[in-house]
Amino acid sequence: MKTFEQLIAAKKPVLVDFYADWCGPCKMMPPILREVKEELGDQVTIIKIDVDKNPQVAATYQVRGIPTLIVFKDGQVQWRTSGVIPAPQLKQKLLEFT
């Protein structure tokens, strides 16, 4: 199993969804992420990080509100936002990094 650092070091964009099971808005993200993944396929990797189970990772990237979405490429933060974002907007943003 790859470490978080290995996952985000990829040449293609890696979208990380920081969430928690108890978070209402976070529950709106899975269908949005599925839609984006269906449309972009292998152009992007999407991973979900539970902030309650991975507090170190959340702290490292200063995740204060959830959901927080961060796009990494070559291990570097390219873009971040907090809150729910519609699939078309998210897809457009990810395409900027492919």
> Following DSSP, what letter does each residue of 10-79 receive, concatenated?
-SS-EEEEEE-TT-TGGGGHHHHHHHHHHHHGGG-EEEEEETTT-HHHHHHTT--SSSEEEEEETTEEEE
In this prediction the pTM is 0.95
Which amino acids are annotated catalytic?
A: 23, 26
Q: Write down the CATH number for the domain with range 4-93.
A: 3.40.30.10
pLDDT tens string 26-81: 999 999 999 999 999 999 999 999 999 999 999 999 999 999 999 999 999 999 99
What local confidence, expressed as pLDDT, does residue 20 receive? 98
Q: How far apart are CA 90 and CA 3, in angstroms?
A: 25
Strands 45-50 and 14-19: parallel
